Every structure is written in C-alpha cells, then in structure tokens.
Amino acid sequence: MNLNDIYTAAADLIAAKIDLPADEIRAALVRPPQPEMGDLGFPCFTLAKKLRAAPPKIAADLAAQISVAEPFIKITAVGGYVNFTLSLAALGEVAVAAALADDWGEFADNGKTVVIDFSSPNIAKPLAVHHIRSTMLGAALARLYAITGWRVVTINHLGDWGTNFGQLMVAYTRAKNSGETPATDLDAQLKLYLEYHQAAETNPALEGEARAWFKKLEDGDAETVKMWKIFVDESVKGLQKLYDRLNVKFDHYTGESFFNDKMAATQRRLQDAGLLVKSDGALVVELQDVGIDAPCLIQKTDGATTYATRDLAAAEYRHHEYNFDKCLYVVANQQELHFRQIFAVLKKMGYAWADGGEHVKFGMLSFAAGVFGEERATGSTRKGQIIFLDAVLARAVEKAREIIGANGRGDEGNAAILAEQVGVGAVIFSEFMQRRQKDVIFSWDKALNMQGDSGPYLQYTHARLSSLITKSGVVVGGGDAQLLTSALSRAVLLMLAEFPRVLLGATAENEPSRVAEYLLELCAVFNRLYADKKEHQIITDDAALTASRIDLVAAVRNTLRRGLAVLGIAAPEKM
C-alpha cells in the first residue's frame, strides 16, 4: 500500500455516495492547510450547482453518511471540504514500512515507452553550456520515468555532421603540412578548432576550404570519411569520460550522420503527401495554416539537407524502432520554433503519434563572476568564453575537499571519493534548484552552501542520519509507527508518504526540480523534529520507542538516498 492507494480509498468512499466518477474525485483531493484539519480533503464547491446546496452543507451531509474505517480514523466536514484523517497504522505502513523496503518509490511497469533525446552536443567544437543542462536534466528524467514504471530509451542525437568538421580538417591538414603530427583526441580537437578560427580571421579563404572538405565528406570520399570517423570516435570517447563522471548513460548514440541515408525516404514521403513547396530555390513545408509563420526548411538552395529534415527522419526512425508513447527532446528554450515545426510537419504527414513528441525546454545557464574569471560568463564560444564542464567539476571537487576538511569530518582514506561525490553532486544539484525554464546563474556560494538548499546539505543530512542509525546499534525495521504520536512526527510521516506521488508529479511535468524541492522540504521538516531534543530524543531508555524513532530516521534516510539517486547524486554514508 502507498499513499496513492489511500487516495483511491478515500475517492471510492465518496464515489459510493455521490454521482461522480472515482477518478475525478481522486484528482480533486487536496492536502488541508492545517494538519489538525486532516490529511486529505475533498472540496465540494463544484457540486454546489448540481446539488443545489451550499458546499458546507454538502460536505456535512457526505461526512455524516460515510462510516469511518481503516485506513481512516476520522472523517469530518471542515467548511466546504470533507476531510479524512489517516490512522497511525496506515501512515506507518505507507511512510515507514514502504520507505524501508527495497522498492521504495518504484511503480509497476505501466507498459509505456518513452524515448528521451538529451545532451546531444554538436561535436568538433567545444561542448556548449546548454548541453550541460540538457545532460543533467535528461539523465534525471530518464531515472524518473524508469522508477515510475516506464520503459526508457535514451538517445544521444550527436551533432556529428556539418561544416565544423570541414574546419577541423583544414586545421588538421595545415598542421600536418607544416611537419607536425597533430593528435586527434578531444583536447587536440579543441586546439584545432581554435587554430582554425584564429587563422580564418586573417585568411577568409579558409572558409571556402572548410566547405570544400565538408563537400568531400558529403560526397563520401573515402579518406575524408576516415578522418571524420576518427574525429567522431575520439569526441565520443572524450564525452564518455565526462558522462561516466556524471553517471550518465545512453542506450544509443544515433547522431545526425546516422540519418544521412534515411532522409531521402523522408523527403519522398513529404513529397508524396503533397507537402513540399518550392521557395526561392529551396524546399519547405508551409505551416501558416497551423499557426506557425515560419515555414519548415527541408532542403536548402544548394541541395543540402537540414537539421529539420534530420529530425523528421529521426522521429520516424524512433517511432518505428521503439514504438514510443512519448518522445522527449531535452533542448534549450531557443529551439522552441524548431520543435513546433517538427511536430507540426509530422502531424501533416499523418502521424498521430506526433502528439507524443514533447520539447522539454530549459533556460540559460551562466556562471557568476568569480566562477571562471572576473566577469560573469555565458559560455559564448565566439566571445572566447569556452566553459569546460571538466574544469567546473574539477574546481567543485577541489572546493568540496576544502569544505570537508574544514568541517573536520574527512575520513582520510575516502577523502578523495567523498570530495568527488560532494563536488559533482553540488554541480548537479544546482541544476535542479529552480524550475527548468528559468535561467540559472551558477555560483559557488549557492552550490556548496552546507547550511541549506544545496546538494552537499542533503548529502550531509543523509550521512548524519546514517551515522545516527549506526551509533544507535538498533536493527532497522523493528519499530512500531503507532508510538510516533507527536504532531511533528506526524508531519514527517505525511511528508515521507508523499514521496511516490512527488515522483509521479515530477515525471508528469518533466520537472526533476520537484524532487529536489521535496527533498529539501523533507529535511527541513525532519530537522525541526530532530532539533526538538526534549520531545524527540531519538535514542531513549525505552527500547520500543527508540526502535520506532530509528525506523523513522531510516525512512527519511532512505528517501533522501532514493531521491538523490534519481537526480544522479551520490549519498555518502559518512561526511
């Protein structure tokens, strides 16, 4: 049993008395504003017209008709609401027993599939800042969907095709011609990228050369394709190191080049559907009739295919391969028009499944002054503000080490591992401190604030609770929730019980920040109890009470651990 089942039970009780579907009642249930009022409430306001009675009257009649039984101990009318109060036994089951089980927060297989396209950086140029956000958001979404019962397919739609490669090849051959043997790993590629742009400033002819290289690549010239392949493989290798560090995995790396041989068929289908229109020598799909002014560009004047055509081919391919119910694109706000166009064109092609497409947008990330240099940095490559995620992580780990050391809690043997967990965790968590569509300004003070609202703070709370459990010597799972009678304990229990519903809500909104917010609130509620040593001493002379309180502590600890895991953050045992 979890809290969802309890909501269902309440809805069924009401549905038996009035003419409304149980699902609708269930969706209308709310949390009363004051804990004394009850644990969940059914608002009677919308019934007033139909029943021709005032909401308080309806609520009072309903409450009088429903007989009280487990999992409820009280059902009363409060204003226009019918409020239900849970028994401690039921609360113990959904908040403690459930939280101590291995499958806490997990939902049964729902038979649905979600494809998540995230990170998807353009390679052959430095990793852009928005890809950091896409990477962490996408990875958290993948875990959220998995825990709530979806089959998840993760895809890295690498930008592995384009004139950038021509530029690299120019720089590479120039270096070679001057007698060097240039390396090709990610760092070397970055150097080539910078060398090209520096040289092209005084020698514009290089642009033509880069285009010529790319043309050779598109024409399938064997040597050029070989060189391209080396650059791509090395890039992916470099990226993977970063992904490993962030605990991110992809089921498929099907980048833009993967669709080179699939676009002709897509274009033919567009043609056959009568959707292609000539416009100044280019081919487009008009979308004005569906409220989008800008037409979707399918083929450029020079015959080259486009980003949009690749995405159309990719969507068809994904639907064919994975038969998805949802296909998420975790991509910055800036590409809103692009995805509106893609979904609209797919609809025009007659694909009902296009409704499953969703652009999971997010705002801009920038770095406060002092993180990278004197000025606030937005990571614009053109302005030379290249942000290396690697460097951010390294600095974060260094800083974490200082903090852990200063707190005097560093376990020397594990100090390096711990610093990595805390530093990386701080960077990841800062991604989830606000709704995804908001812009983020990253600063060390916020990311590493040990006093609250940060990843390290949650990690620290987790570690503190873990040591408390160990120190108590009590075996977890032997308590009785009915002994947890105080108002503060009840608040913690109710908060715990919410966890599975929070996961569901975060998934429905594609909003991992909801999990972060919940974890901070859970800590806040628990810390209020923990600080109240007089009333809530955890380890007491009463063995049964101690066992029950330790169970509560362990339930909070497990919830923190599970929640942090969903966000991709490690939960250290000691700190």
Q: Which is nearer to ligand ARG, 319 or 462 (CB)?
A: 319
d(CA 19, CA 7): 18
Check binding of 329 to ligand ARG (CB under 6 A).
yes
Total residues contacting ligand ARG (rule CB under 6 A)?
A: 10
Q: Kindly provide the b/e burial profile for residues 150-189, where b requires at least 16 CB atoms within 10 angstroms of the residue's own CB.
A: bbbbbbbbbbbbbbbbbbbbbbbebbeeeeeebebebebb
Q: Which span sits near ligand ARG by CB under 6 A: 98-106, 119-127, 277-285, 382-390?
A: 119-127
End-to-end CA distance of the chain: 34
Q: Least CB distance from residue 444 to ligand ARG, whole Å? A: 27
Q: Which span sits near ligand ARG by CB under 6 A: 120-128, 179-187, 239-247, 517-525?
A: 120-128
- The site map against ligand ARG for 265-304 (x = CB under 6 A) is ----------------------------------------
Q: Least CB distance from residue 264 to ligand ARG, whole Å? A: 19
Which position among 331, 529, 567, 575 is part of the footprint of ligand ARG (CB under 6 A)? 331
Rg (CA), the chain: 28
- Amino acid occupying residue 183: A
Q: Which span sits near ligand ARG by CB under 6 A: 103-111, 118-126, 227-235, 566-574?
A: 118-126
Q: Which is nearer to ligand ARG, 240 or 333 (CB)?
A: 333
Using a 10 angstrom Cβ sphere, with 0-12 exposed, 13-18 middle and 19 or more buried, the burial of residue 36 is: exposed
> In residues, how long is the chain?
575
Eight-class DSSP state of 264: H
Q: Least CB distance from residue 308 to ligand ARG, whole Å? A: 9
Q: Which span sits near ligand ARG by CB under 6 A: 68-76, 114-122, 382-390, 513-521?
A: 114-122
* Spatial CB neighbours of 401, under 8 Å, sequence gap ≥ 6: 410, 415, 416, 419, 423
Q: Which span sits near ligand ARG by CB under 6 A: 116-124, 216-224, 228-236, 389-397?
A: 116-124
CA distances from 373 to 128, 385, 396 (A): 18, 10, 15
d(CA 78, CA 60): 8
Q: β-strand 282-285 against 40-43: which pairing, if any?
A: unpaired
Q: Least CB distance from residue 159 to ligand ARG, whole Å? A: 4
Check binding of 120 to ligand ARG (CB under 6 A).
yes
DSSP 161-217: -SHHHHHHHHHHHHHHHTT-----SHHHHHHHHHHHHHHHHH-THHHHHHHHHHHHH
Eight-class DSSP state of 288: G
Q: Least CB distance from residue 329 to ligand ARG, whole Å? A: 5
Give the residues across from 451 on adjacent strands: none
Q: Which span sits near ligand ARG by CB under 6 A: 17-25, 46-54, 113-121, 206-214?
A: 113-121
Q: Least CB distance from residue 126 to ligand ARG, whole Å? A: 11
Smallest CA-to-CA distance from 246 within 148, 144, 131 is with: 131
d(CA 96, CA 548): 9
Q: Which is nearer to ligand ARG, 313 or 448 (CB)?
A: 313
Interacting positions 137-166 with ligand ARG (CB under 6 A)? 157, 159
d(CA 231, CA 424): 28
Give ∠ CA 141-142-144 in degrees, rounded to 5: 60
Which position among 83, 122, 235, 341 is part of the footprint of ligand ARG (CB under 6 A)? 122
SS3 assignment for 369-430: CCCCCCCCECCCCCCCCCCCHHHHHHHHHHHHHHHHHHCCCCCHHHHHHHHHHHHHHHHHHH
Q: Which is nearer to ligand ARG, 117 or 195 (CB)?
A: 117
Q: Which is nearer to ligand ARG, 329 or 351 (CB)?
A: 329
Q: Least CB distance from residue 267 to ligand ARG, whole Å? A: 18
Q: Least CB distance from residue 122 to ligand ARG, whole Å? A: 4
Q: Least CB distance from residue 118 to ligand ARG, whole Å? A: 8
Q: Which is nearer to ligand ARG, 221 or 325 (CB)?
A: 325
Residue position matching structure tokens 């910055």 = 332
Is residue 144 within 8 Å of 562, Cβ to Cβ?
A: no
- The site map against ligand ARG for 543-562 (x = CB under 6 A) is --------------------
Check binding of 311 to ligand ARG (CB under 6 A).
yes
Is residue 119 within 8 Å of 134, Cβ to Cβ?
A: yes
Q: Which is nearer to ligand ARG, 357 or 425 (CB)?
A: 357
Q: β-strand 151-155 against 276-279: which pairing, if any?
A: unpaired
Q: Least CB distance from residue 500 to ligand ARG, whole Å? A: 31
Check binding of 117 to ligand ARG (CB under 6 A).
yes
Alpha-carbon torsion, ordered 303, 307, 309, 310, to 10 deg: 120
Q: Which is nearer to ligand ARG, 318 or 561 (CB)?
A: 318
Which residue's C-beta sits nearest to ligand ARG?
Answer: 159
Is residue 44 within 8 Å of 55, Cβ to Cβ?
A: yes
Q: Which is nearer to ligand ARG, 338 or 501 (CB)?
A: 338
Q: Which span sits near ligand ARG by CB under 6 A: 117-125, 259-267, 414-422, 440-448?
A: 117-125
Q: Which is nearer to ligand ARG, 29 or 332 (CB)?
A: 332
Is residue 547 within 8 Å of 539, Cβ to Cβ?
A: no
Q: Least CB distance from residue 344 to ligand ARG, whole Å? A: 15
Q: Least CB distance from residue 449 to ligand ARG, whole Å? A: 31
Q: Least CB distance from residue 164 to ligand ARG, whole Å? A: 11
Q: Given the rule CB under 6 A, which residues bind ligand ARG?
A: 117, 120-122, 157, 159, 311, 314, 329, 331
